[in-house]
């Protein structure tokens, strides 16, 4: 905590001041100090959220991976070594403790809101570095760069998750953008602010499933409740990403990855996860899904490859759900999404068997089928998103009140 200054978030004037400072520095002749300024700004933002205990916890969370990554940097013989595995396991345990997951809630009454300041995003970057360090020797690495990468102020709170090579490339290009690029970056920032802080809040109050308990509720009310939260979530999250990408681009930092690509127009659940929170999806695919599926399929008989793939999907989405939150509703969300992916893959396989590859391609081009696919995926997504805000029992109670008055 910084006396007299609350937690710094993108909606506040303190964030605007910090970002303005970064922009001025990026445009000035002393832009060589930008990396240090980025690290310092990230640290100020983190400190504005954290108390003394949280800072100690954050320090403990940061130091060990840095030392290990430093030792492994460019050393290909250290690839996939035991040290990295042990440190990753240690970081995950610390993460579970800080986030107070049920079996790891050993802190008792000690308050550690460190969990809210994007600690999962820091963990993603640390795991990325611990795995990739042996292959990144051609890139510079220092304590300052590590700080700037893990605590980068524009991705500290909610991503997007960036790779280290992209981060270094972005840093190398810092400077004043051309006028058209600058206008585009500012436009993106303002659009993001409007999406996240003007439009999104309009939809939050009507996303409450408790509203379905009104005796006069009809289908229009149901549709409003069903669609309000997904619309809010998209506007809020993608608006935030627009702001941070816009600010980064104003500094000439062009490599911050995109996080959304019309996700609600996805044609199936697999498609959805390539368009929604994309940097997270890529990270999960790279560091969880691919290694796990490779390991399982390699060990299982060939005829069980499909089953192993389904198991991998369910395990991966279970982890996705658990990452979103520590309570049962998030597990249910993950499993529902996993089931959606498995079912859509199974359905596609059946179609391919009956229609053949060309028949399936023709069907995909059919506008009616296309529209129906989007409609079904959208509504499945909206239903599953209700689990992000509500416990399954509360949902069941609200639906019961609405459908069986």
Partner 1 sequence: MYGTFQKPNLSVRRFNPPNYNVTNTTNSKGFRDSEQGFEDDLAGVWMAGASNSFGGFLEDDEIMSARLQDLGYKIANLSSEGHKLHQQMRVVRHLAAEGYRPRAVIFEMTLNNIVGDYDYAIKELSEPLVINRDEKQTDIRATQVLEQSVRQLGGVTDVSLFGLKKRLINNSAVYTWAKVGVNGVPFLRDLTLKWGMRADVALANSLSDSVYRKETGNPEYVYFGKTADYMAVIRDWVADHLGVPFGIVIVPSGHHLNSDWFERYMTHLGLDANEHDPTRPYDKLLQALLARNILVLDTAPALQSADVFLSFPDDGHTNAAGHDIIARELAAWLPTALGLEPDL
Q: What is the binding site for partner 1 (CB under 8 A)?
A: 6, 100, 105, 107-109, 111, 198-199, 201-206, 208, 210-214, 216-217, 220-222, 224-225, 228, 394, 397
| Closer of 131 and 398 to partner 1 (Cβ) | 398
d(CA 266, CA 43): 38
d(CA 340, CA 384): 10
- Rounded least distance, CB 336 to partner 1, Å: 21
- Rounded least distance, CB 293 to partner 1, Å: 35
Q: 221 exposed, middle or buried (CB, 10 Å; 0-12, 13-18, 19+)?
A: middle
d(CA 51, CA 330): 28
- Rounded least distance, CB 238 to partner 1, Å: 18
d(CA 150, CA 125): 6
- Rounded least distance, CB 11 to partner 1, Å: 12
| Closer of 21 and 201 to partner 1 (Cβ) | 201
Q: Which DSSP category does 261 fall into?
A: S
d(CA 76, CA 28): 38
| Closer of 52 and 108 to partner 1 (Cβ) | 108
Q: 15 exposed, middle or buried (CB, 10 Å; 0-12, 13-18, 19+)?
A: buried
306-338 burial, b at 16+ Cβ within 10 Å, e below that, comes to: eebbbbbbbbbbbbbbbbbbbeebbbbbbbbbb
Q: How far is CA 13 from CA 19, 45, 202, in A?
A: 10, 13, 22
- Rounded least distance, CB 211 to partner 1, Å: 4
- Rounded least distance, CB 225 to partner 1, Å: 5
- Rounded least distance, CB 52 to partner 1, Å: 16
Within 13 Å and on the Cβ side, how many CA atoms surround 199? 18
- Rounded least distance, CB 397 to partner 1, Å: 8
Q: Which residues fall within 8 angstroms of residue 137, CB to CB, at 6 or more apart?
A: 73, 74, 75, 76
Give bridge partners of residue 5 from the DSSP assignment: 2
Q: Which DSSP category does 176 fall into?
A: P
The pair of structure tokens assigned to 397 is 């109670």
């Amino acid at each position: 905590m910084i006396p007299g200054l609350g937690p710094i978030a993108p909606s506040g004037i303190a964030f605007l001041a910090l970002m303005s400072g970064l922009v001025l520095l990026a445009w000035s002749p002393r832009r060589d100090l930008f990396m240090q300024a980025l690290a310092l700004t990230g640290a100020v933002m983190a400190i504005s959220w954290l108390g003394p205990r949280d800072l100690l916890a954050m320090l403990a969370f940061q130091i060990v991976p840095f030392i290990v990554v430093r030792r492994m940097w460019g050393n290909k013989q250290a690839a996939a070594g035991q040290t990295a595995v042990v440190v990753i396991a240690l970081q995950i345990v610390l993460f579970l403790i800080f986030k107070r997951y049920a079996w790891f809630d050993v802190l008792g009454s000690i308050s550690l809101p460190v969990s809210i300041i994007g600690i999962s995003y820091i963990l993603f970057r640390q795991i990325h570095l611990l795995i990739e360090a042996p292959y990144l020797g051609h890139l510079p690495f220092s304590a300052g760069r590590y700080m700037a990468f893990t605590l980068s102020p524009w991705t500290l709170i909610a991503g997007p998750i960036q790779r280290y090579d992209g981060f270094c490339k972005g840093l190398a290009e810092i400077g004043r953008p051309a006028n058209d690029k600058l206008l585009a970056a500012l436009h993106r920032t303002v659009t993001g602010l409007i999406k996240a802080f003007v439009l999104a809040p309009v939809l939050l109050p009507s996303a409450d499933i408790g509203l379905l308990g009104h005796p006069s509720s009809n289908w229009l009310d149901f549709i409003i409740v069903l669609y309000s939260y997904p619309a809010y979530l998209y506007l809020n999250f993608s608006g935030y990403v627009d702001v941070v990408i816009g600010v980064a681009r104003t500094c000439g930092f062009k490599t911050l990855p995109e996080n959304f690509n019309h996700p609600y127009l996805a044609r199936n659940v697999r498609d959805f996860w390539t368009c929604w929170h994309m940097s997270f999806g890529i990270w999960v695919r790279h560091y969880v899904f691919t290694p796990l599926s490779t390991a399982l399929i390699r060990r299982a008989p060939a005829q069980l490859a499909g089953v192993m793939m389904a198991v991998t999907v369910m395990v991966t989405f279970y982890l996705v759900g658990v990452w979103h939150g520590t309570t049962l509703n998030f597990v249910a969300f993950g499993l529902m999404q996993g089931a959606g992916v498995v079912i859509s893959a199974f359905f596609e396989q059946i179609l391919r068997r009956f229609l053949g590859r060309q028949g399936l391609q023709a069907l995909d081009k059919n506008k009616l089928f296309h529209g129906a696919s989007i409609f079904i995926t959208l509504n499945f997504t909206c239903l599953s998103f209700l689990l992000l805000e509500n416990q399954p029992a509360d949902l069941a109670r609200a639906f019961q009140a609405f459908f069986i008055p």
